Chains A and B, each alone.
Chain A
Amino acid sequence: MPRPRPAATSSSRASSGPRRAVGAAIIAIACSASAAAFAYTGGWLTPSRLTPERIVDALSMRGGDPVGHRRNHSKGICVLGTFEASGAGTALSTAPMLVRGSYPVIGRFAIATGNPMADDASGRVRSLAIRIVAPDGQEWRSGMNNSPVFVVATPQAFYEQTVAAEIDPATGRPNPQALEHFAATHRETAPFAQWAKTAPWTTSYADQQYNSLNAFRFIDAQGASHAVRWSLVPTTAPDIVPVAALAARGPDFLERDLKARLAKGPLTWHLVATLAAPGDPTADATKAWPPDRPTVTLGTLHVTAAQDEANGACRDINYDPTVLPTGIKPSDDPLLAARSATYADSFDRRTAELAQGNSASEHAR
Chain B
Amino acid sequence: MKPTRFSALQRALHWLMAAAIIAMLFIGVGMVTTVHPRYLTLVAVHKPLGIAILALALCRIVLRLRRGAPPLPADLPHVQQLGAHASHLALYGMMVAMPLIGWAMLSAGGYPITLGGALRLPPIAPHDDALYAVLRTAHVWLAYAFFVTILAHLAAALMHALIRRDGVFATMAPWARTGRS
Tell me if chain B binds chain A.
yes
Q: Mark A334-351, 1 if CB is under 8 A from B, else 0.
A: 101110111011011001
> Which among B25, B26, B43, B162 has the highest number of chain A CB atoms within 10 Å?
B162
Which of these, A24, A34, A51, contacts B151 with CB under 8 Å?
Answer: A34
A-side interface size class: 35 or more
Contacts of B68 in A (CB 8 A): 1
CB of A105 to closest CB in B, whole Å? 15
Contacts of B52 in A (CB 8 A): none
**What are 19 A-B interface contacts by the 8 Å CB criterion?**
A5-B74, A6-B71, A10-B73, A10-B166, A12-B166, A15-B162, A31-B154, A41-B33, A49-B33, A51-B35, A316-B128, A330-B40, A337-B38, A337-B40, A341-B32, A351-B130, A354-B133, A355-B130, A356-B133
Q: Mark B25-60, 1 if CB is under 8 A from A, else 0.
A: 110011111111111100100000000000000000
Given contacts A12-B73, A34-B154, 19 further A-B contacts (CB under 8 A): A4-B2, A14-B165, A26-B162, A27-B158, A30-B154, A42-B30, A51-B33, A51-B35, A316-B128, A318-B109, A326-B117, A337-B36, A337-B39, A341-B34, A345-B32, A348-B133, A351-B132, A351-B133, A354-B129
A8 sits at the interface (CB 8 A): yes
B80 sits at the interface (CB 8 A): no
Q: Mark B108-120, 1 if CB is under 8 A from A, else 0.
A: 0111100001101
CB of A131 to closest CB in B, whole Å? 9
Instruction: Given the known inter-chain contacts A53-B33, A332-B37, A340-B39, please indicate yes or no for A38 contacting B163, CB distance below 8 A.
Output: no
User: Would you call B162 and A31 a contact (CB within 8 A)?
Assistant: no
Contacts of A42 in B (CB 8 A): 29-30, 33
A323 sits at the interface (CB 8 A): yes
Contacts of A53 in B (CB 8 A): 33
A91 sits at the interface (CB 8 A): no
Which of these, A23, A38, A315, A338, contacts B25 with CB under 8 Å?
Answer: A38
Instruction: Given the known inter-chain contacts A41-B29, A336-B40, please indicate yes or no for A355 contacting B129, CB distance below 8 A.
Output: yes
Contacts of B133 in A (CB 8 A): 348, 351-352, 354-356
CB of A38 to closest CB in B, whole Å? 6
A-B contact count (CB 8 A): 159
User: Would you call A3 and B72 a contact (CB within 8 A)?
Assistant: yes
Chain B residue nearest to A156 in the complex (CB): B35
Interface residues of A (CB under 8 A from B): 1, 3-8, 10-15, 19-20, 22-24, 26-27, 30-31, 34-35, 37-38, 41-43, 49-53, 55, 136-139, 155, 315-318, 320, 322-323, 326, 330, 332, 334, 336-338, 340-342, 344-345, 347-348, 351-352, 354-356, 358
B-side interface size class: 35 or more
Which of these, B37, B40, B130, B163, contacts A354 with CB under 8 Å?
Answer: B130
CB of A94 to closest CB in B, whole Å? 9
Bound state CA distance, A6 and B164, in angstroms?
16
B124 sits at the interface (CB 8 A): no
CB of B70 to closest CB in A, whole Å? 9
User: Would you call A355 and B134 a contact (CB within 8 A)?
Assistant: yes
Contacts of A318 in B (CB 8 A): 109-111
Instruction: Given the known inter-chain contacts A5-B74, A35-B151, please indicate yes or no for A351 contacting B109, CB distance below 8 A.
Output: yes
CB of B30 to closest CB in A, whole Å? 4
Contacts of A315 in B (CB 8 A): 129
Chain B residue nearest to A54 in the complex (CB): B35
Instruction: Given the known inter-chain contacts A3-B72, A316-B129, A326-B117, please indicate yes or no for A155 contacting B35, CB distance below 8 A.
Output: yes
User: Would you call A38 and B127 a contact (CB within 8 A)?
Assistant: no
Contacts of A6 in B (CB 8 A): 71, 73-74
Bound state CA distance, A25 and B111, in angstroms?
46
User: Would you call A358 and B38 a contact (CB within 8 A)?
Assistant: no
Bound state CA distance, A318 and B75, in angstroms?
56
Contacts of A37 in B (CB 8 A): 26
User: Would you call B35 and A338 a contact (CB within 8 A)?
Assistant: yes
- Which 3 pairs across A and B sit closest by C-beta, in order of nearness? A23-B162, A338-B35, A43-B33
